[in-house]
Structure 1
Amino acid sequence: MDEGLLRDIAWVHSGDKGDNINLGVVVWDRNDYGLLLEEVTADRVKEHFSDICHGSVTRYELPNLWAVNLVLTRILDGGPARSLRLDPQGKTLGDALLLLPLRHDGRSVSDEAKKRQS
């Protein structure tokens, strides 16, 4: 089984709204969009952040943008004004999501993604 990380095929932008965050995940190459949909499911993201996400994870697909938007609820300990976390706005959670392992069972990622892996 080939294995890589989400960062090999995509970039992430994060934003907060109260106690929730959204993570926009965009693939570098449209040929990797199917892999993104297979690997970055709401369940896998919830599991990835299981220590800190006390609410739900909802995934919205944006095929024209080669992206998904993930909304994670109850993840910021009350939000920026109340949280005692070092990152009360959850900006580093985008980077943390990029460490999600991809298990693509022999499917190859795009040539551009392979260049970024090396």
Structure 2
Amino acid sequence: MKQHLPLSPRALNMARHHAEHAPTPEIREAASRLLTDHELAIAMGRPLHRAVPRPTFRTSRPSPLGPNLTGLLLGALALLGFLFVATVLWAHATDVAETMRQQANGMRGM
């Protein structure tokens, strides 16, 4: 498994620059091809067995309810929202239809 050196991209570029201007031709040749982490570690005098992997950061916390229950709850909430909107629209449509019937009956009686 490849270990990452604890170097920022700026420090990595600086190390490559120093390796390009190194006193030994082997290191300069290694810098002319793109340096791998191992070659860079040798060029910087930092042995890989002492390298510390970079920390990984999680982007979000897992749900305490679990992924399946969370999806079920979100689906139920979406269904309830849809049913609420459908009920309101149905009530409005029936109210408009009733009002139109009353107006039609009123106009017939004229």
Q: Larger Cα Rg: Structure 1 or Structure 2?
A: 2
Q: Could you state the TM-score of these two structures normalised by the residue count of structure 2?
A: 0.23
Report 1 or 2 for greater relative contact order, CA contacts < 8 Å, sequence distance ≥ 6: 1
The answer to which structure has the higher strand fraction is 1
Q: Could you state the TM-score of these two structures normalised by the residue count of structure 1?
A: 0.22
The answer to which structure has the higher helix fraction is 2
